[in-house]
Amino acid sequence: MSNKLTVASLTCNPFQENCYILYTANKDCIIVDPGCWSREEKQRLQSFISQRGLKPVRLINTHCHIDHVLGNKFVADTYNLSLEIHEGEIPVLDSLMRVAHTYGISDVDESPAPGSFIQAGDVITLGDCALKVLFTPGHSPASVCLYEAEAGILIAGDVLFQGSIGRTDLPGGNYETLMQSIEKELLVLPDNVQVYPGHGNPTTIGAERRSNPFIKEWLAQ
Ligand SMILES: [Zn+2]
């Protein structure tokens, strides 16, 4: 590995969502899916960053479900960052306050509107790392994953989990679309790629290729 990308996670909010902080030796960091909701969760993120002397340079959502965006406003305001999402996630982001009401989640900060959009094939540079944007819809209408090939790291959002896949029953979700995203964008990656999902433990592409029951069933068709 010629470059070094560090992946740290903070598990947040009642949905136990993984917020990821990606950073390199130059201490620039990207905050992906800040789910921090309570004051304590926001302080935990802020302390993590300040204790390591990190400099947040980008704020990205893999997709805009409520559990992944609760800290958007806090991160945008605290670090003077503008939000980056895939354009196809705008309707999901726009539904935030309504969804919060449905789930009975109070004290929700309305997310800032996106300042720019990311799309398939974009390359996001961080120090000497290059994160490629993979378009992986199906769990939500325009989910993306971030892939760093040299480090062998995939930030997977809610597309692929250890032993499972993202749910497809929410607005804009579609099972066939999700499985095609997994097959065409993720299963083409090397077995040793570390997968960091939006919920639960990290896994690898190889482990999921071998034993994920949803993938096995899909590929057996
Ligand atoms: Zn989700």
For every residue of the chain, DSSP letters joined together read --S--EEEEEEETTTTEEEEEEE-TT-EEEEE-----SHHHHHHHHHHHHHTT-EEEEEE-SS--HHHHTTHHHHHHHHT--EEE-GGGHHHHHTHHHHHHHHT--SPPPPPPEEEE--TT-EEEETTEEEEEEE--SSSTT-EEEEETTTTEEEEETSEETTEE----STT--HHHHHHHIIIIITTS-TT-EEEESBS--EEHHHHHHH-HHHHHHHH-
Ligand 1 centre and the CA of 90: distance in Å? 14
Model confidence band, residue 221 (pLDDT cutoffs 50, 70, 90) = confident
Task: Give mean pLDDT, residues 146-154.
Answer: 97
Neighbours of ion ligand 1 (CB under 5 A): 65, 158
Task: Give mean pLDDT, residues 172-180.
Answer: 97
State yes or no: pLDDT of 171 exceeds 90. yes
At 189-207, the pLDDT tens digits run 999 999 999 999 999 999 9
Ligand 1 centre and the CA of 65: distance in Å? 5
Ligand 1 centre and the CA of 68: distance in Å? 7
Ligand 1 centre and the CA of 201: distance in Å? 16
Ligand 1 centre and the CA of 131: distance in Å? 21
pLDDT of amino acid 2: 43
Ligand 1 centre and the CA of 158: distance in Å? 5
Ligand 1 centre and the CA of 53: distance in Å? 30
pLDDT of amino acid 1: 45
Nearest-angstrom CA–CA distance, 63 and 142 = 7
Ligand 1 centre and the CA of 26: distance in Å? 31
pLDDT of amino acid 3: 61
Ligand 1 centre and the CA of 217: distance in Å? 22
Ligand 1 centre and the CA of 110: distance in Å? 17
Q: How far is CA 137 from the centre of its chain?
A: 13
User: Residue 151 carries which side chain, given as an amino acid letter?
Assistant: A
* Average pLDDT for the chain: 97
Q: What is the pTM of this model?
A: 0.97
Task: Give mean pLDDT, residues 7-33.
Answer: 97
Q: What percent of the chain has pLDDT over 70?
A: 99
Ligand 1 centre and the CA of 1: distance in Å? 31
Ligand 1 centre and the CA of 102: distance in Å? 16
At 75-105, the pLDDT tens digits run 999 999 999 999 999 999 999 999 999 999 9
State yes or no: pLDDT of 57 exceeds 50. yes
Ligand 1 centre and the CA of 220: distance in Å? 26
